[in-house]
A and B are shown apart, each in its own frame.
Chain A
Amino acid sequence: MLKAFVSGIFPRQDELIGAINRFEKKRISFEELEKIFRRCEEEWLDLQKGLTIVSEPSLGWNDIFRPFTLNIKNLEAGPLTRYLETNTFYRRPIFSDYPVKENSVLEQKNEYGLPFYIRSDSKVILPGPYTFVKSGEYPSNLDERRLVEKMAEIVFDESSNFKYIEFKEPLVQDLNILKGLEDIYSTFSGNGYISTGIRQKSYLDFSLPYTISTYIENPPENIILGIIDVFSTKIEDFQNIEDNVTITTNESLEFLPFRIAKEKVLAIRKLLGVK
């Protein structure tokens, strides 16, 4: 049976962008902001009805690392840094020592006092530990592998409150890197998958399902095809998609304007026969 869902942080609606701006300028109250935020989150959850997996829109996340850079000991949010090859920037995680989790990260509030998630039964994104460390900066006396392991412990511990997890690992761009993370990901005991930056048509056995951003016929069950393009505003023509594959987006939906992201989700619903 064909399976399909979308990935990552979702685009904020214009209404929410405007509300956050007005809140920052103290022109609306927190209660007004929160009301709009929840309405926008609900709109996204509603739009996904009928998809194989419903994802938290994560509209409160200012970047994929931010809940952690703000709430983990020995980490702070550093300079603005380009995210992959996009024109979207994140605050680089700066490690001063090995990270230590003192409180539940996603239970904290964001910069505006909004929650990082609203439903624990939806798919929640978490930064993959490899991408997290590789996207950050650390003193030369810290060991990179150890940092990845420590981040994995924190992220996996965080995941225990949720039913289904998407680990964002866009810097895992070939199978060798993925293979090198087998020891780490094999300690994850929940349900979920890794969204990678892999474009190769080959694949390997791995303890978790993972995405590749290309189409292959008859893929193994643990391969998710990231073929819905968030870097194009053309709506996909899903003809010739086999009905035994699982498809998703090739990156976070937030790289599309809301209107197009919504159209892509509606196209997926149509593909799945959802009315």
Chain B
Amino acid sequence: MFYKQEIGSMKKPDYLISAYGKEEFHTLKKRALKETVELMESAGLDNIGIGGEMYRWEMYENPVDHLDGLVYYGRVRSFDNRYYKKASVVGKIKRKSSAYLEEFIDVQEIAKKDIKVPITGPYTLMDWSFNDYYPSRLELGLDFARAVREEIIELEEHWKGKGPLRVQIDEPAASTHPWEVSTFVEIFNETVKNLNNVKISSHICYSKDYRSLYPYILEMKTTQLALEFSNRDTTNLGIDDDSRRGFRVIKDLMDMGENREIGIGVIDVHTDFIEPPELVRDRILYVAKFYDIEKIIINPDCGLRTRSREVAYKKLRSLVEGTKLAEKELS
């Protein structure tokens, strides 16, 4: 009944982490990809994404390394003692090499389940960079959009599967500047315009308030929104508004016109707490009370890279088992 998907990243095995920056990283990454795909498939997911992003060090650095016009001066805090390299735009943004193709070709060889390519969105690339060159954020964002679009077209040319290629555009920065949502949508739509055999979903997480994206987001050319809710939910069982306070906002989104496929984050990726399947069940049943069941997709809040692989596996198992419980209730 419910389609269960991964959102993106998984923690890399220790042997791959210690090989980072060395030649052997390139020989070990395929082994890590294979192991991660097997782990995700054995957890019971229908869609394993790109196999945990084993070929990418980080969602921002990876695409930036394949673009001209940016330089790094160092790292900036993400949270606690987690830092990311934040580049400065010092020239015109242009794609110089493939950011995703090698990984995409390899995962097609390995995966038995559906795949979906997560790609860092142009608005997020813009927002997470210092702009020392472009006169406006829109102009910068549109050049990032053109570069990302070239990536997607290249993947489409190498797609060997049946049906449309699934691409997930990750835009965690989408709601960062509520006054700029129309700009975000314009940049997003420039990225996906005239793509033929591609099914686009969009992942937006850690928004202060998803409602701030409306009404402009309704113009976004995406078939699915995969969003984060468990981070702000309680861990109590129940399908009442209070127990499920993290998911209540979906009702508001519906009132504002949302009716696309919605990927609901039923697993909090920032804690080692393993959600019992019954909690996952209740999160799904709560949303199923008011949202079109056929348009509900099940996923974690975000990529699981901040958890150990053991914890991530247990969380994915819980997601699968909890979904089964919900399906049983609903049938």
Contact = CB atoms under 8 A, between A and B. Distances in A.
Nearest to A84: B176
A88 B77 contact: yes
A20 B81 contact: yes
B176 A85 contact: yes
Interface in B48-82: 72-81
Nearest to B86: A257
B255 interface: no
Given A24-B81, A87-B176, A233-B88, A14 B231 contact: no
Contacts of A17: 75, 81, 83
A90 B82 CA distance: 12
Contact of B74 (A80, A90, A257): A257
Interface residues on B, range: 20 to 34
A71 B206 CA distance: 25
Interface stretch (B29-37, B125-133, B142-150, B284-292): B125-133
Given A14-B74, A234-B132, A82 B86 contact: no
Contacts of B88: 233
B73 A233 contact: yes
Given A87-B176, A89-B206, A257 B128 contact: no
Contacts of B78: 87-89
A87 B75 contact: no
Nearest to B132: A234
Contacts of B173: 87
A260 interface: yes
Nearest to A92: B232
Contacts of B131: 232
A46 B231 CA distance: 40
B130 A233 contact: yes
A24 B77 CA distance: 17
Contacts of B162: none
A260 B88 CA distance: 11
B243 to A, nearest CB: 15
Interface in A5-62: 11-12, 14, 17, 20-21, 24, 62
Given A89-B206, A233-B130, A260-B73, A21 B81 contact: yes
Contacts of B77: 11-12, 88, 254
Count chain A CB atoms within 10 A of each CB in B75, B78, B208 and give the residue with the most.
Answer: B75
Given A79-B270, A82-B208, A257-B86, A233 B79 contact: no
A11 B270 CA distance: 23
A162 interface: no
A103 interface: no
A90 B76 contact: no
Given A80-B206, A80-B231, A81-B208, A232 B132 contact: yes
Nearest to A261: B74
Count chain B CB atoms within 10 A of each CB in A82, A90, A258 and give the residue with the most.
Answer: A82
Contacts of B206: 80-82, 89
A48 B78 CA distance: 25
A255 interface: yes
Contact of A259 (B74, B83, B232, B270): B74
B75 A88 contact: no
B74 A89 contact: no
A79 B207 CA distance: 12
A88 B73 contact: no
A88 B76 contact: yes
Contacts of B74: 11, 14, 257-260
B278 to A, nearest CB: 21
Contact of B79 (A14, A88, A111, A255): A88
A82 B176 contact: yes
B110 to A, nearest CB: 30
B177 interface: yes
A256 B76 contact: yes
A232 B90 CA distance: 11
Interface in A59-99: 62-63, 79-82, 85-91
A256 B176 CA distance: 18
A238 interface: no
Given A80-B206, A232-B130, A11 B232 contact: no
Contacts of B231: 79-80
B269 to A, nearest CB: 10
Count chain A CB atoms within 10 A of each CB in B73, B76, B86 and give the residue with the most.
Answer: B76
Contacts of B176: 82, 85-87
Closest 6 CB pairs of A and B: A257-B74, A89-B79, A233-B88, A233-B130, A20-B81, A257-B73
Interface of B: 72-81, 83-84, 86, 88, 127-128, 130-132, 172-173, 176-177, 206-208, 231-232, 270
23 contacts: A12-B83, A24-B81, A62-B79, A62-B80, A79-B270, A80-B206, A81-B208, A82-B176, A82-B207, A85-B176, A86-B176, A87-B127, A87-B128, A87-B176, A88-B76, A89-B78, A233-B73, A254-B77, A257-B72, A257-B73, A257-B74, A257-B76, A259-B74
Given A79-B231, A257-B75, 16 more contacts: A11-B76, A14-B74, A17-B83, A63-B79, A80-B270, A85-B176, A87-B86, A87-B173, A88-B77, A88-B78, A89-B79, A231-B130, A257-B72, A257-B74, A257-B86, A260-B73
